[in-house]
Structure 1
């Protein structure tokens, strides 16, 4: 079974145009790439809050958000009918009931101010602001009417220094863990063009939102990062594992394992790393379809 190398090669050609026509972000948490309807690039700003359990053996409240430009997974290159900008919000109330919604926006603009300050504005439905010292982040949701019914805010305060994906500060890519061997097209994207900036590796967050008439309010552990890439994930990745945990001693770890696509559409090579990250108890796993 042939690996869809022609599709990736075509996508890489488009990606090279995307990258060559857009400058590196001025701010650490700013815009690194330019997703639009003519390419399959994607960039997102992600954050999560986890509160303490209200009773033994019962998980605490959770809220996570993603401000998207473009689509992380695409079934077809022609995605002009899809909203280019949107916010996904999901999690759990203190009683264990879950919620999940996607709010489309008419725009998704990033503006970079003095030093590292960043403002993201997704139409009228949501926004976020990152301070110039990368110590605070304010997030607002403003879609109170049906069918979304969400409004409120999240306020993060960091207690750790910002860094890129491999716990370095000089490169936002995985080139520092790149193996000494010939890489296929998918691996070239994985190690050289998948960016990861962690503005808030850990800290506290105050959550006060109302979802479909129910208030979710708590103070918990917070985290915020962003990712960008010139291709949708299913163009070059077969699986993505991401986990993190918190404890007082020893220091906790943030781990990630990403598999690139290969001949026969099986993982050929992985990027695996672990970072100190005093954070929260949560684990996520993403299995991606092997190509389009």
Structure 2
């Protein structure tokens, strides 16, 4: 019911065939009993391609898409699993099993078809993705579109050769769409869900069981004034904190780093326990400090307005953001900016 278990997860062996300039990956549903090899250093292409081969019981490789409404009076959201919330906050959560998949990678983009589910995504050029859903078994039909407005990146920097793709020990992460102008046009069990908002697409993978190295993590994305931001604050079992900071302004990256001082995310308000424990209820907010390098520091308060999913290990929320840029030297007038975000918390130990 989380990103880990149901969000377009691949299982089985992965076979690669050449198809003109594309690479076609056919993935059967059967789990492999062979040892998995994982990629953790970027190349000149393949940002959104599969990163493990084959997929055994210890490995995972997922593609994740979401949209959060940018209407300040709405808590509408959708995450392709499929789960989300209607504008009034009513949540929905459902999934369907597939019988294999095909992923086609073209340069640094991809298209995917999860056979037997009614879910597919198509890259249609010019930084545009469209998710098509026709899943009568779960009563969902429609489309979700993404037109990217912020450049792709890896945990430690922009989309270039030789980047480290580990956001934490043996956990890979590639963020193809940090922010997008998105439109949701779905029918969910007879109820229309239609809104525009801030879209997002990334992928995670590992050759190890998800809980092997993770104590907790905070992740989120949103649009704050002219800034598109993505945060990742990851705590490993040995107590080491790993982070990834990203900010783009008017479509240009101004910060992308995994240095320890690049970002800090901490819970605020009610239940502001750090690190979070399995028995700790979700907090009512977060504070994000993001280094914008020459522009100064972005200080953001994130307030939970709706919890979309809450189980013992995982919470996904929609919220409002309020932030200011503190210039280098701390001088000058500061303009308060507002925005919307979708974010999550994993907590895996007591």
Q: Same fold (TM over 0.5)?
A: yes
The answer to whether residue 126 in structure 2 is matched with residue 166 in structure 1 is no
Partners of 2:220 and 2:120 lie apart in 1 by 26
- Report the 3-state secondary structure (helix = DSSP H, G, I; strand = E; otherwise coil) of the residue aligned with 1:102: coil
Provide closer, same or farther for how the CA distance between residues 157 and 107 of structure 1 changes in structure 2, counting only shifts above 3 A: same
Match of residue 69 from structure 2: 51
Q: Pick the structure with more helix per residue.
A: 1
Match of residue 243 from structure 2: 272
Partners of 2:144 and 2:203 lie apart in 1 by 17
Partners of 1:130 and 1:286 lie apart in 2 by 30
Match of residue 230 from structure 1: 207
- Report the 3-state secondary structure (helix = DSSP H, G, I; strand = E; otherwise coil) of the residue aligned with 2:157: coil
The answer to whether residue 342 in structure 2 is matched with residue 282 in structure 1 is yes
Partners of 2:33 and 2:218 lie apart in 1 by 24
The answer to whether residue 127 in structure 2 is matched with residue 112 in structure 1 is no
Q: Pick the structure with more strand per residue.
A: 2
Provide closer, same or farther for how the CA distance between residues 282 and 23 of structure 1 changes in structure 2, counting only shifts above 3 A: closer
How many pairs does the alignment contain?
226
Query: Are the counterparts in 1 of residues 82 and 95 from structure 2 also a CA contact under 8 Å?
Result: yes
* Pairwise CA distance, 1:48: 1.0
Provide closer, same or farther for how the CA distance between residues 239 and 160 of structure 1 changes in structure 2, counting only shifts above 3 A: same
Provide closer, same or farther for how the CA distance between residues 246 and 21 of structure 1 changes in structure 2, counting only shifts above 3 A: closer
Matches within 5 A, 1:8-19: 17-19=35-37
Query: Are the counterparts in 2 of residues 150 and 209 from structure 1 also a CA contact under 8 Å?
Result: yes
Provide closer, same or farther for how the CA distance between residues 280 and 200 of structure 1 changes in structure 2, counting only shifts above 3 A: farther
- Report the 3-state secondary structure (helix = DSSP H, G, I; strand = E; otherwise coil) of the residue aligned with 1:39: coil
Partners of 1:284 and 1:20 lie apart in 2 by 25
* Pairwise CA distance, 1:101: 0.8
Query: Are the counterparts in 1 of residues 215 and 347 from structure 2 also a CA contact under 8 Å?
Result: yes
Partners of 2:33 and 2:83 lie apart in 1 by 30
Query: Are the counterparts in 2 of residues 140 and 154 from structure 1 also a CA contact under 8 Å?
Result: yes
Query: Are the counterparts in 2 of residues 117 and 131 from structure 1 also a CA contact under 8 Å?
Result: no
Query: Are the counterparts in 2 of residues 15 and 230 from structure 1 also a CA contact under 8 Å?
Result: no
- Report the 3-state secondary structure (helix = DSSP H, G, I; strand = E; otherwise coil) of the residue aligned with 1:234: helix
* Pairwise CA distance, 1:223: 0.9
- Report the 3-state secondary structure (helix = DSSP H, G, I; strand = E; otherwise coil) of the residue aligned with 1:104: coil
Match of residue 152 from structure 1: 142
TM-score, normalised on structure 1?
Answer: 0.69
Match of residue 94 from structure 1: 87
- Report the 3-state secondary structure (helix = DSSP H, G, I; strand = E; otherwise coil) of the residue aligned with 1:105: coil
- Report the 3-state secondary structure (helix = DSSP H, G, I; strand = E; otherwise coil) of the residue aligned with 1:120: strand
Provide closer, same or farther for how the CA distance between residues 130 and 288 of structure 1 changes in structure 2, counting only shifts above 3 A: farther
Unaligned runs of at least 5 residues, structure 2: 1-31, 250-338
Match of residue 184 from structure 1: none
Partners of 1:23 and 1:274 lie apart in 2 by 18
Structure with the bigger RCO (C-alpha within 8 Å, sep 6+) is: 1
Partners of 2:84 and 2:112 lie apart in 1 by 22
Provide closer, same or farther for how the CA distance between residues 229 and 15 of structure 1 changes in structure 2, counting only shifts above 3 A: farther
The answer to whether residue 132 in structure 2 is matched with residue 140 in structure 1 is yes
* Pairwise CA distance, 1:231: 1.3
- Report the 3-state secondary structure (helix = DSSP H, G, I; strand = E; otherwise coil) of the residue aligned with 2:53: coil
Query: Are the counterparts in 2 of residues 24 and 31 from structure 1 also a CA contact under 8 Å?
Result: no
* Pairwise CA distance, 1:90: 1.1
Query: Are the counterparts in 2 of residues 156 and 222 from structure 1 also a CA contact under 8 Å?
Result: yes
- Report the 3-state secondary structure (helix = DSSP H, G, I; strand = E; otherwise coil) of the residue aligned with 2:116: coil
Deviations 1:123-170 (A, max 9, x none): 13211123465x11111122113xx11111111000111111223323
Q: Select 1:218's aligned residue among 179, 195, 203.
A: 195
Query: Are the counterparts in 1 of residues 40 and 165 from structure 2 also a CA contact under 8 Å?
Result: no
TM-score, normalised on structure 2?
Answer: 0.58
- Report the 3-state secondary structure (helix = DSSP H, G, I; strand = E; otherwise coil) of the residue aligned with 1:281: strand
